């Protein structure tokens, strides 16, 4: 059975006339030299396809590689583009460009999810699958044609159409971090409190209150504690925006 699955994987639209090959070529801007890298980039582990050594084939390892390549190329771009930027500034700007939210948008814009092969129903995937597959695609390009091709793709698909230094300077990537930084600067006590969620949703939700000093500034609920805290922080930021940006007490 495993041999049959591997055969299907190895032959799946691998020739130049195949639909998969054509779609990938259009996305990356050149004809792949080794289409198997790109098949792996769009293979979910639920298919349980394994190589000759019994290792599961999926996009996850390529995602790791692509993340490193993306970070490296963006770092070099910022280093050259913003000569006045110190280490902290460059790190913050890179984080904004390669944020999970931004990578998810890139994956959606390229319709990468449509190419994903999986036994899971696609409605069961979260938002991050779009960014994960985008990173896997970057990793596949690096293995297929090297650093320059990878750099060219990132400049064409990320830097050129999306990176605006002035706009990114004003972009908040974590309202929670911003609120904590402000509270510490102003010597204000703060606490995120999880409380009972009385919602009737099928999916479990977490409810969070953000208390600053003795006052509850914002409440929020989401499918994870982290998301709920970030949502509450965003609401608190806009409630206190005049104080935070004006640096008033």
More confident residue, 204 or 10: 204
Per-residue pLDDT reduced to its tens digit, 211-228? 999 899 999 888 888 888
**Closest Cα partner for 239 from 191, 194, 171, 231?**
231
If you average pLDDT over residues 183-206, what whole number do you get?
A: 81
pLDDT, tens digit (0-9, with 9 covering 90-100), for 108-132: 999 999 999 999 888 888 889 999 9
Exposed/middle/buried for 63, CB within 10 Å: 0-12, 13-18, 19+? buried
Q: Is 155 helix (H, G, I), strand (E, B) or coil?
A: helix
Task: Dump pLDDT digits (tens) for 154-192.
Answer: 999 999 988 888 777 766 667 888 888 889 989 999 999
Q: Is pLDDT of 139 > 70?
A: yes
Contacts of residue 231, Cβ cutoff 8 Å, sequence gap at least 6: 208, 220, 221, 222
Average pLDDT over residues 88-112: 89
Read off the pTM: 0.67
In this structure, the strands spanning 190-195 and 215-222 are unpaired
Quote the pLDDT of residue 95: 87
What is the model's pLDDT at position 143? 97
Please give the mean pLDDT across all residues of the chain.
Answer: 86
Render pLDDT for 35-83 as a digit per residue (tens, 0 to 9). Answer: 999 999 999 999 999 988 999 999 999 999 999 999 999 999 999 999 9
Predicted confidence (pLDDT) per residue in 14-36, tens digit: 455 589 999 999 999 999 999 99
Q: Which residues are catalytic?
A: 67, 135
In the predicted structure, residue 202 carries a pLDDT above the cut 70: no
CB of 113 closer than 8 Å to CB of 136: no
Q: Could you give all domains of the chain from N- to C-terminal order, each with its CATH number?
A: 2-168 (1.10.1520.10), 175-246 (3.30.160.20)
pLDDT level of residue 199 (50, 70, 90 thresholds): low
């Amino acid at each position: 059975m495993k041999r049959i699955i591997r055969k299907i994987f190895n032959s799946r639209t691998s020739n130049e006339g195949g639909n998969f090959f054509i779609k990938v070529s259009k996305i990356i801007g050149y004809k792949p030299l080794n289409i198997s890298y790109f098949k792996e980039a769009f293979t979910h582990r639920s298919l349980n396809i394994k190589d000759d050594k019994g290792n599961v084939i999926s996009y996850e390892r390529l995602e790791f590689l692509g993340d490193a390549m993306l970070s490296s190329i963006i770092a070099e771009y910022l280093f050259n583009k913003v000569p006045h930027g110190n280490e902290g500034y460059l790190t913050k700007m890179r984080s904004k460009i390669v944020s999970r939210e931004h990578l998810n948008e890139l994956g959606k814009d390229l319709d990468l999810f449509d190419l994903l092969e999986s036994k899971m129903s696609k409605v069961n995937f979260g938002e991050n699958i779009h960014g994960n597959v985008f990173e896997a695609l970057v990793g596949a390009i690096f293995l297929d044609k090297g650093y320059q091709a990878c750099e060219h793709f990132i400049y064409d698909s990320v830097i050129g159409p999306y990176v605006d230094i002035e706009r990114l300077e004003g972009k908040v990537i974590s309202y929670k971090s911003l609120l904590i930084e402000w509270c510490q600067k102003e010597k204000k006590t703060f606490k995120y409190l999880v409380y009972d969620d009385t919602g009737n949703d099928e999916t479990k939700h977490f409810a969070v209150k953000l208390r600053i000093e003795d006052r509850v500034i914002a409440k929020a609920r989401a499918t994870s504690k982290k998301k709920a805290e970030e949502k509450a922080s965003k609401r608190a930021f806009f409630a206190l925006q005049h104080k935070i940006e004006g640096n008033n007490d």
